[in-house]
Structure 1
């Protein structure tokens, strides 16, 4: 065993927040090089049921659920024959306290953390266990499919899997469009970048609502508060028509098979020129630069409802439709798919990276196989149902599958007893941030023959009966079908990443000058010079070397 060293970075650039499951404080633990011993699967055997529950200590940030009272956690413990202890640490203290626990050798079984430099240090200092040896048994096929997926391969450290990501929607944001405006103008759904421009222009100039007034425009966006204004959802929608997953920080493939950063690519320049055209012709809202993000999407949904514009980016399409219908009951809204791109770029919505933190098993874990059993169970359809909607007959009274969805009729009075529904709504809080983070969905890993990348594109909506009556019950599932990851996704090599803050600032400043100024070509040339000098050239060189070794 390697000698442990105290790892407490002075600057924690990656916020660690998480979850830790563990048994009683004892020093014995399996060696990382040993093969796992036999253990049961998710369905507990008769012998296990008769044995004492296995204690698992769960340390997580800002926990609200009590495993001694919460009926869902009590049911989970019963099904797996475990005894949970949850230790809650405030968010602003979690990173440092968890790092101290790791460095001091405090006994626990599981942590949910962010990837990055600190995680790599833990692995190299032998403070966390690789999953690989345990997966050889074949008892954890869901976990195996996840850690060995294409989209997550960048998380491996020296070829081993230490980090099991929590599956997050590969793309929550999508676009909706006023179908009745298209019909009024005799236009079809835009499928190319040129058609998108023509529709946006017509929505401004051709009186799409037929009220005889010049009071509409094409698309709403907002960039206030961003160091890099090119990362608005509208600009990303445009950028993906020029490169798969095109946007700041991402990599794109070149015709010669190599890769480069999007910021230095022809796709970056062409997409900026297109966005500039929308700005110069007033096809987007004039206050786009001053408007800061609004999690509730209130201002943009209000303006959409008022009929001020016709194309919206949103994660809450039903909110937009409901506001619109209040003023215009006959209005029609449709899903706007991503565009078929230039030079053969397929229609895509890019990829968020598909995770929100992930699970690691510390070297001090006394019962790593029981922890794996817990993780594996929550990835099954049965486990996902329990940790998202609760117990059948208590938290929901009926469940049925229709049109590819699993629809739950909730018993809100019972949910009120087990969690703060005013704060969290009627989705069980541990549906996110525990073993999964894909709200209102099941990732069908088993059903897709344990091909996680394929399962990720074919999520099955798990929604409430109220959501099923909405205009877009399959919104996230539809978005997922268009997701495509760029090269070098989820790679956390410091040389490949570079100084991200410095690079984003340099690109954002230059991009804005090019978009808003009068000399696009001159501004873009200046941007390239400054971005490359800010470390971009070193990042490109490191990334190309990494890609050649690991593709």
Structure 2
């Protein structure tokens, strides 16, 4: 429900007037008044928000206006395209050109972690329990989102493990194939989708796996899960840490991916492909396997008018060599932080107002606006209460760009009228049982904070080169040694120390 007690921070002018009335005459007195002042419950807030854009263009239309009405705020988005977020966000952190709220989704990025630990952002841990929606954030999520026990923003709440595959069910049907249940069967599907003319047009114009350059959200990370690789790091029995790329399972994943690539079952340009291009290729019928179950409805929408008779199916269970199913968890259900820079949010009163704004975004009304849009315009609820998008094009323009900025994807649940999307939702929930956690999420390493992203690039580049056949086993081992000598050994040591201290 919409809250009528949404408020705005007292202006500096009002604070100064209050200080004068109390006879204060020093800057210290002004600052004290500013810190202790409560925000005006009847005034409107002005919120500047740097957010990540996962759609081709920013939202338009009335949804944002409705969202502003619900939160009693003027919202000015500074949109950062997902493809350039690392460059843009790190540049903003370095320059100090920030907004009231900054969506920090790259929690392992060294520049981000350094900025958080530097004191640039407010510690919000003590404030969350003052708000009805924020206080519901579990302690597990708070711990996972914290750095050395300090929570530098409101966590984006996500499902524990969202990863999975989307396959062309119509291609499977055309070829008389069943959905794959293990890695061998998955390879055979990728082969058939590439070589056996799955669309029946008589042309050699399809590829099994469509993919992109981001190893974390491409097929590689998911395939590594299927192979039983650790999620980032493995904690040994003696408490020491082993990076995932030094495990046999990771090496087996690289060999599996290299086989796909060498045979043409994996997109040959994956190393230079962005997410939007990957989606477009799938929508155009050029590829038949996509990594990301949660995108299934978007893929169907993108394919409208391009792929007649298209049928998709989400698949989450692919058994590994051990016969078991494993899936990696994204930061233990944390999708990043909505952080508040002290340079922009100068007082506690301002911070509290912004926390109220975030709290209101978690309300069911705001959630529905950012998920479905406006009832009667973008969606309807059918007789069973399931949500059905009624104008796909309008939804994509006015709603979809906002959906990735929802503070919580787990507080409210919807039944989707699209059976494929609903099945994907259920499989994401089922993934919780099989999720593999990154043990370093709640830990801190000074070296990782300082040079982690730079060092990570060494192994990302080596992995891509190995998959493409440009590096052999010996070359990959040399890359590991370079990683270790450049600071990796110190990271291993620091994580082990932090782990021991946490016990």
Q: How does the TM-score come out when normalised to structure 1?
A: 0.65
What is the deviation of 1:191? 1.9
Of 285, 292, 314, the match for 1:335:
314
Cα distance 1:496–1:399, how it changes in 2: closer, same or farther (>3 A)?
same
Q: Deviations over 1:396-429 (max 9, x none)?
A: 78545747x44576899xxxxxxxx79x722187
Q: Do the aligned residues in 2 keep the contact of 1:173 with 1:479 (CA within 8 Å)?
A: yes
The alpha-carbon distance between structure 1 residues 500 and 401, as it changes in their structure 2 partners (threshold 3 A), is: farther
Describe the shift of the 1:504–1:400 C-alpha distance in structure 2 as closer, same or farther (beyond 3 A): same
Equivalent positions of 1:250-265 (< 5 A) are 250-254=232-236, 258-265=240-247
Query: Which whole-Å deviations, capped at 9, do the CAs of 1:413-451 have from their partners, x for residues lacking one?
Result: xxxxxxxx79x7221876554xx356xxx522xxxxxxx
- Give yes or no for the alignment of 1:300 onto 2:252: no
Alignment deviations for residues 222-262 of structure 1 (CA, whole Å, 9 cap, x no partner): 43xx6xxx55612222111134674xxx2234466653221
2:225 corresponds to 1:234: no
Q: 1:529 aligns with which of 481, 485, 490?
A: 481
Match of 2:117 in 1: 120
Is 1:196 matched up with 2:173? Answer: no
Taking a change above 3 Å as real, the CA distance of residues 356 and 65 of structure 1, as seen in their structure-2 partners, is farther
**CA 1:504/1:66 → structure 2, altered by over 3 Å: closer, same or farther?**
same
How far apart in 2 are the matches of 1:65 and 1:151?
32
Considering Cα pairs closer than 8 Å and 6+ residues apart, tell me whether 1 or 2 has the greater RCO.
2
Query: Offset of 1:461 from its aligned partner?
Result: 3.8
**In the alignment, which of 131, 137, 152 is matched to residue 140 of structure 1?**
131
After superposition, the CA RMSD in angstroms is: 4.8
Change (3 A) 1:52 1:472: closer
Match of 1:310 in 2: 288
Deviation at 1:476, TM superposition (A): 5.4
Distance 2:389 2:200 in 1: 41
Provide the residue aligned with 1:279 in structure 2.
261
- 1:317 is displaced (CA, Å) by 3.3
For this pair of structures, how many residues does the alignment match?
A: 451
Deviations 1:459-514 (A, max 9, x none): 62487xxxx45853554564454263422226564324452343233213433443
* C-alpha displacement of 1:190: 1.6
- Cα contact 2:165–2:291 (8 A) shared by 1: yes
Q: Residues 29 and 382 (structure 1 numbering): CA distance in 2 closer, same or farther, change over 3 Å?
A: farther
Query: C-alpha separation between the residues in 2 aligned to 1:97 and 1:534?
Result: 23
Which whole-Å CA distance do the structure 1 matches of 2:303 and 2:445 have between them? Answer: 46
2:457 aligns with 505
Deviates more, 1:164-173 or 1:272-281: 164-173
Q: CA deviation at 1:348?
A: 1.5
- Give the aligned partner of residue 364 of structure 1: 347
Residue 151 of structure 1 contacts residue 489 of structure 1 at CA under 8 Å; is this kept in 2? no
Q: Distance in 2 between matches of 1:348 and 1:489?
A: 16
What do the CA deviations read for 1:85-139 (whole angstroms, capped 9, x no partner)?
667879879947995899xxxxxxx64453522232227xxx735432x45xx55
CA–CA distance in 2 between the matches of 1:547 and 1:186? Answer: 50
Unpaired segments ≥5 residues, structure 2: 1-6, 16-29, 52-57, 81-87, 105-111
Cα distance in 2 for partners of 1:178, 1:396 equals 27
> C-alpha distance in 1, partners of 2:192/2:495?
42
After superposition, the C-alpha distances for 1:500-543 in whole angstroms (9 at most, x for unaligned) are 34323321343344334488432333232222223222212212
SS of 2:119's equivalent? helix
Instruction: Decide whether aligned partners of structure 1 residues 213 and 523 sit closer, same or farther in structure 2, where only a CA change above 3 A counts.
Output: same
Alpha-carbon contact 2:280-2:302 (below 8 Å) kept: no
Partner of 1:379: 362
The structure with the greater share of residues assigned to helix is 2
**Structure 2-normalised TM-score?**
0.70
Deviation of the 1:346 alpha carbon: 3.2
